[in-house]
Amino acid sequence: MKKVLVFLLILFVAMQFYRPYENSFVTVEKLDFLIVENVPAPIARIFKNSCYDCHSNQTDYALYDNIAPLSWIVDKNIQRGKFSLNFSKWGTFEPWQRRVFFQGGMMYDININKMPPKNYLLLHPNAKISNIERKQMEAWIATVDLMKE
């Protein structure tokens, strides 16, 4: 039994040396969603708090987010999130792409509680979007000029 525990401890320590991905890239501020869309501060706070860890080039890692194998799950979730939508590159999207995100996906995913994902909320409960915040986001999104270039 001791040998098994020692082996598992060595394996756990060895796992800590493999970090496939860390989401901390230089961002061009003028391309960021919050700047391009001139998002009001209360709405920006909701996006930063609930969306930006997985959907931007800057993740605010908690200590436990750096411990394998949890770090591997976190990194995979960030890769998936940025693949579907990267707020740090919002300014590079064509107007039609922005309309698709606004009209099609963004609020729908929030309203059906797909975003933020439940597994993310387990360790980041403060990222949960309340009904009041959801209504604030919807009201703001309704005011965005989707036809601007």
Tens digits of per-residue pLDDT, 5-20?
988 888 888 878 877 6
Rounded to whole angstroms, the Cα distance separating 134 from 120 reads: 18
Q: Would you state the pLDDT for residue 123? A: 85
Residue 149 belongs to a domain: no
**For tokens 């320590």, what's the residue?**
13
Q: Would you state the pLDDT for residue 148? A: 64
Residue 96 belongs to a domain: yes
Q: Would you state the pLDDT for residue 146? A: 66
Q: Would you state the pLDDT for residue 106? A: 86
Rg of the chain over all Cα atoms, to the nearest angstrom: 18
What residues are paired with 58 via a beta bridge?
24
In this prediction, residues 133-139 reach a mean pLDDT of: 93
Share of the chain above pLDDT 70, in %: 95
User: What's the pLDDT band for 37 if we cut at 50, 70, 90?
Assistant: very high
Q: Would you state the pLDDT for residue 147? A: 61
Residue 124 belongs to a domain: yes
Rounded to whole angstroms, the Cα distance separating 121 from 133 reads: 16
pLDDT in tens, 66-123: 888 888 888 888 999 999 999 999 999 998 899 888 877 888 898 898 999 998 898 8
Give the H/E segment covering residue 139.
helix 131-143
Enter the tokens of residue 104: 């099609």
pTM of the model as a whole:
0.84
> What's the chain's average pLDDT?
88
Share of the chain above pLDDT 90, in %: 44
Range(s) of the domain holding residue 26: 2-143
**For tokens 């890239």, what's the residue?**
25
Residue 61 belongs to a domain: yes
Count how many domains the chain has.
1
Statement: residue 44 has pLDDT above 90: yes
In this prediction, residues 31-36 reach a mean pLDDT of: 94
Amino acid at 56: S
Residue 112 belongs to a domain: yes
Rounded to whole angstroms, the Cα distance separating 25 from 6 reads: 37
